[in-house]
Amino acid sequence: MLLLQQLLNGVMLGSVYVTVAVAFTLTIGVLNFLNFTIPTLFMLSGMGAWALTKWGLPLVHTPPFPWPMALLFAIVVTICASLVVERFTFRYMKTKYGDATEHAIPLVSSLGFLLIIENLMRIGYGTEAQRIAAFDWDNTITVGGLFLRVPQLVSLLLALLLVAGLNWVLKHSRIGRGLRAIAENPDAANILGVDSRRLVPVIFTLTGVLCGLAGILFAINYGEVSPTMGEDIGSKAIAGMVIGGLGSIWGAVLGGLIIGIAEMLTIHFFGADTVQVAVWGLLLIALFVRPQGLLGHHSIGKGKL
């Protein structure tokens, strides 16, 4: 029974990795660009919600926000930050330097944003983890002898619903068809009338939504936030994305769940100190055995949405 409980806990933890891994997959699958600001956007959402409920808006000196308003405002701030990253790491560089920017300059500039935002949060709120009070609906239900916290169940369902909705938009909407055309061949898409300048910000908006929701759900589920909370989550989400298959949304879902389960089983059998060895060892094994990923394109690294 204890092993089943750990498996269940792994699935719940994996739901956080799933959301962040899908955010990475969007930029990789459409823009062939590894957006290093994603872990920081994840952190910004969780830390922002906590700060708003404790002090309100900085500089303006508003009263503390109630949690529902703080959560919504934090997601909006995360989306805006993601669009700023798009403006200065991708659009500006693309406009100024053209194809010469593929893909090192946007990657390095996104890393710069990661370090700037993270260190600003450290300066403003310190480096220590901050506790979040439990919610009134933070109850535990029992199913067949297994314990399941309501926020964790809500997180899993929201993650799956969000990914399913995103997958539908990409497959069946006009915006989704335009994004997939850009993913396949940006130059051909422009010739056919697809306006990439309008569609690329959609990717960063969706990235902001995914990271904002993931950061808030993580804060609610685990009861603490810190300026470095995105580093571990982001690295494991990348591992999940690679294991699932680059460019595959459902591959990111599968990979994120695998990483979450692997982490909890490692803690159960070997202790928390061995988690990093297990996760990255699993990634290396996956790369040796199936480098294209479980659901990735048959050509390595060529997976597209």
Query: Which H or E element spans position 142?
Result: strand 140-143
DSSP string, 46-79: HHHHHHHHHH-STTTTPPPPPHHHHHHHHHHHHH
Q: In this predicted structure, what is the pLDDT of residue 61?
A: 67
Section 154-167 average pLDDT: 88
Which has the closest alpha carbon to 10: 277, 193, 290, 240? 240
In a domain, 299, yes or no: no
Which tokens belong to 229? 């909370």
Residue 295 domain-assigned?
A: no
Q: Is there a domain that residue 256 lies in? A: yes
Does residue 300 sit within a domain? no
**Which tens digits make up the pLDDT trace of 121-154?**
998 888 888 887 666 556 777 777 778 787 788 8
| Domain with 172 in it | 2-289
78 in Cβ contact with 212 (< 8 Å): yes
Domain count for the chain: 1
Give percent of the chain with pLDDT exceeding 70.
90
Domain presence at residue 66 = yes
pTM: 0.89
Structure token digits, residue 217: 């759900």
What is the mean predicted confidence (pLDDT) over 218-246? Answer: 90
CB 93 within 8 A of CB 105: yes
Residue 295 has pLDDT above 50, yes or no: yes
User: At residue 59, does pLDDT exceed 70?
Assistant: no
CA angle at 208 for the pair 183 and 69, rounded to the nearest 5°: 155
> 302 in a domain, yes or no?
no
As a three-state string, the secondary structure of 173-207 is CHHHHHHHHHHHCHHHHHHCCCCHHHHHHHHHHHH
Whether residue 296 is contained in a domain is answered as no
Residue 108: partners with Cβ closer than 8 Å, 6 or more residues away: none
Q: Which tokens go with 271?
A: 């202790």
Q: Which two tokens stand for residue 104?
A: 């090192």
Phi, psi of 296, rounded to the nearest 5 degrees = -85, 175
pLDDT at position 98, please?
A: 57
191, two tokens: 């010739």
First-last CA distance in the chain: 39
pLDDT over threshold 80, residue 29: yes
Q: What is the pLDDT of residue 100?
A: 46
Task: Confirm if 248 and 303 have CB atoms less than 8 A apart.
Answer: yes
Residue 254 pLDDT > 70:
yes
Contact (Cβ atoms closer than 8 angstroms) between residue 211 and residue 82: yes
Return left, alpha or beta for 232; rule: phi > 0 is left, psi -120 to 50 is alpha, else beta: alpha
**CATH number of the domain residue 12 falls in:** 1.10.3470
Q: What distance in Å separates the CA atoms of residue 234 and residue 218, rounded to the nearest whole number? A: 12
Q: Is residue 225 a contact partner of residue 219, using CB atoms and an 8 Å limit?
A: yes
For 235, the enclosing helix (H) or strand (E) is helix 229-244
What residue has token string 């068809």? 177
All residues at 6 or more sequence positions from 258 whose CB lies less than 8 Å from its CB, including other chains = 14, 240, 243, 244, 282
- pLDDT at site 302: 52
Does residue 114 form part of some domain? yes
